[in-house]
Amino acid sequence: MIDGLIAGRIYGEPEQRRGKGDSPFVLAKVRASTHEGETLFVNVIAFDDAPRATLSELREGDPVAITGSLIPKVWTDKQGNTKPALDLIAHRVLVVTSSGE
Protein backbone atom coordinates (compact mmCIF):
# COMPACT_ATOMS: atom_id res chain seq x y z
CA MET A 1 0.00 0.00 0.00
CA ILE A 2 0.96 3.61 -0.48
CA ASP A 3 0.69 6.24 2.26
CA GLY A 4 -1.04 9.29 0.82
CA LEU A 5 -3.01 12.47 1.33
CA ILE A 6 -6.10 13.27 -0.71
CA ALA A 7 -8.13 16.46 -0.65
CA GLY A 8 -11.53 17.11 -2.14
CA ARG A 9 -15.20 17.20 -1.24
CA ILE A 10 -17.47 14.55 0.22
CA TYR A 11 -19.63 12.98 -2.50
CA GLY A 12 -22.93 11.59 -1.21
CA GLU A 13 -23.45 10.89 2.47
CA PRO A 14 -21.01 8.85 4.57
CA GLU A 15 -22.48 5.51 5.70
CA GLN A 16 -22.02 3.89 9.09
CA ARG A 17 -21.91 0.10 8.94
CA ARG A 18 -20.97 -2.89 11.06
CA GLY A 19 -18.56 -5.63 10.02
CA LYS A 20 -17.66 -9.03 11.37
CA GLY A 21 -17.85 -9.20 15.12
CA ASP A 22 -20.14 -6.15 15.04
CA SER A 23 -17.12 -3.85 14.56
CA PRO A 24 -18.16 -0.40 13.26
CA PHE A 25 -16.74 1.29 10.18
CA VAL A 26 -17.67 4.23 7.95
CA LEU A 27 -17.71 4.34 4.15
CA ALA A 28 -17.47 7.60 2.23
CA LYS A 29 -16.60 8.87 -1.24
CA VAL A 30 -14.44 11.90 -1.93
CA ARG A 31 -14.47 13.74 -5.23
CA ALA A 32 -10.93 14.96 -5.90
CA SER A 33 -9.41 16.77 -8.88
CA THR A 34 -6.21 15.70 -10.59
CA HIS A 35 -3.59 18.22 -11.70
CA GLU A 36 -5.01 17.80 -15.25
CA GLY A 37 -8.42 18.95 -13.98
CA GLU A 38 -10.06 15.52 -14.20
CA THR A 39 -12.33 14.27 -11.43
CA LEU A 40 -11.29 11.21 -9.46
CA PHE A 41 -13.55 9.47 -6.96
CA VAL A 42 -11.81 8.03 -3.91
CA ASN A 43 -13.55 5.29 -1.92
CA VAL A 44 -12.76 5.85 1.76
CA ILE A 45 -13.18 3.41 4.64
CA ALA A 46 -12.49 4.29 8.28
CA PHE A 47 -12.10 1.73 11.05
CA ASP A 48 -10.45 3.79 13.81
CA ASP A 49 -12.57 5.84 16.22
CA ALA A 50 -11.37 9.37 15.35
CA PRO A 51 -11.65 9.14 11.53
CA ARG A 52 -14.98 7.30 11.85
CA ALA A 53 -16.42 10.02 14.07
CA THR A 54 -15.21 12.85 11.83
CA LEU A 55 -16.43 11.25 8.59
CA SER A 56 -19.84 10.54 10.19
CA GLU A 57 -20.34 14.27 10.83
CA LEU A 58 -19.62 15.32 7.23
CA ARG A 59 -22.24 15.93 4.55
CA GLU A 60 -22.17 16.01 0.77
CA GLY A 61 -20.03 18.86 -0.54
CA ASP A 62 -18.02 19.37 2.67
CA PRO A 63 -14.32 19.98 1.98
CA VAL A 64 -11.99 17.40 3.50
CA ALA A 65 -8.40 16.15 3.47
CA ILE A 66 -7.70 12.54 4.44
CA THR A 67 -4.45 10.68 5.06
CA GLY A 68 -4.13 6.93 4.95
CA SER A 69 -3.20 3.87 2.94
CA LEU A 70 -3.99 4.21 -0.77
CA ILE A 71 -4.79 1.30 -3.05
CA PRO A 72 -4.78 2.24 -6.77
CA LYS A 73 -7.40 0.55 -8.96
CA VAL A 74 -8.88 0.73 -12.46
CA TRP A 75 -12.52 0.44 -13.49
CA THR A 76 -14.27 0.31 -16.87
CA ASP A 77 -17.16 2.63 -17.71
CA LYS A 78 -20.21 1.70 -19.82
CA GLN A 79 -18.41 2.78 -23.00
CA GLY A 80 -15.50 0.42 -22.29
CA ASN A 81 -13.06 3.18 -21.27
CA THR A 82 -10.75 2.40 -18.36
CA LYS A 83 -10.64 4.96 -15.55
CA PRO A 84 -8.36 5.30 -12.54
CA ALA A 85 -9.77 4.90 -9.03
CA LEU A 86 -8.41 4.89 -5.50
CA ASP A 87 -9.42 3.16 -2.30
CA LEU A 88 -8.17 4.75 0.92
CA ILE A 89 -8.08 3.34 4.44
CA ALA A 90 -8.39 6.53 6.51
CA HIS A 91 -5.94 7.17 9.34
CA ARG A 92 -6.69 10.88 9.83
CA VAL A 93 -9.49 13.13 8.58
CA LEU A 94 -8.97 16.89 8.41
CA VAL A 95 -12.00 19.11 7.97
CA VAL A 96 -11.59 22.48 6.29
CA THR A 97 -13.71 25.23 7.82
CA SER A 98 -13.88 28.90 7.05
CA SER A 99 -13.00 31.44 9.73
CA GLY A 100 -16.51 32.91 9.43
CA GLU A 101 -18.23 29.78 10.80
- For each of the domains in the chain, give its residue range(s) and CATH number, in order of start: 2-95 (2.40.50.140)
What would the pLDDT profile of 18-50 be if each residue is shown by its tens digit? 988 889 999 999 999 888 888 889 999 999 999
DSSP track, 21-62: GG-EEEEEEEEEE-TTS-EEEEEEEE-SHHHHHHHHH--TT-
- Taking phi over 0 as left and psi of -120 to 50 as alpha, with beta for the rest, 67 belongs to beta
The predicted-structure confidence for 86-95, as pLDDT tens digits, reads as follows 999 999 999 9
Q: What is the mean pLDDT of the chain?
A: 91
